[in-house]
Chains A and B, each alone.
Chain A
Amino acid sequence: MSVKEILQAKVLLFIMGKGLEEISATNEEFKEEFEDYDATIQWTIADTVKMYMKVEGGKFTAFMDAAAEEPTVSFAVEDYAKAKEILTGAVDGTSAYMSGDLKMVGDMQAGMKMGQVTNFLTDTLKELMGS
């Protein structure tokens, strides 16, 4: 991975992690929909860029540049370009999983829920950015 790819991957995971921290603390619809969600979710891009989120009662806390000791579910994307497509919402997470670009290990149910969470975040961000 080039410096540009590493930096972009870090920033995309930051936006997801901090975006979910913010939305899970302030958005009433989100709180209601995910109040039963408890999990530790690990994201890894190209074995290099890592971030995990702890979810308690639907409330997210992100830990940048870190690996969880016992994640409930782990997501990994080997290829940076694919990671960018997934994290910017250009490619749907479920399609990426089906095609093998997005690997998921651990609790399938917690992983599926994460898909719903990221869709919620992507829709909210698109609304905010006006696109």
Chain B
Amino acid sequence: MGAIQYAASQLITLDPEFKKKLAGIDSVTQWKVEPKGPNSYTIVKNQKIESKMDAVHNKPTYTLIIKDLDTALNLFQAKIDANKAIGSAIKVIGDAAKAQKEMFILEALGKYLGDLRG
């Protein structure tokens, strides 16, 4: 997950369109991969993305609970449609509408990193 979050922060500097889409977003996403983690959170604010690994935020905008590590890896490689997975492979606690709206971040990363493992 650290690699994905690093990629998101780097994509801002590489893709102006991606950066543009982040305008106005102010949210904290808590990630939880079941059953044993990893857990981390991502802050999107002022068109910047910052992440903290192995950490739990005390007031996330929403929490995404991913059912297992395989699903998380597939999600980050765009092998699973993030929006369609909400409610099944991904549970949302908190502002679900905002979570759905911000799934474009994962989709953008999937577009760039989808074939990383060949």
Contacts and interface: CB of A to CB of B under 8 A. Distances in A.
The answer to whether A binds B is yes
B2 A14 contact: yes
Interface in A1-51: 3-4, 6-8, 10-12, 14-15, 18
A6 B11 CA distance: 9
A12 B6 CA distance: 11
A6 B7 CA distance: 10
A90 B3 CA distance: 19
Contacts of B117: 88, 129
A64 B6 contact: yes
Could you tell me the dominant secondary structure of chain A's interface residues? helix
Interface string A57-74: 000000010000000000
B53 to A, nearest CB: 9
Interface in A64-109: 64, 84, 88, 90
B24 interface: no
B6 A6 contact: no
Given A11-B7, A88-B118, A18 B112 contact: no
Nearest to A49: B10
Contacts of A12: 116
B38 to A, nearest CB: 11
A3 B14 contact: yes
Interface string B100-118: 0000000000001100111
Contacts of A15: 3
Interface of A: 3-4, 6-8, 10-12, 14-15, 18, 64, 84, 88, 90, 129
Given A10-B10, A11-B113, A90-B118, 5 more contacts: A3-B15, A7-B10, A8-B116, A11-B116, A129-B73
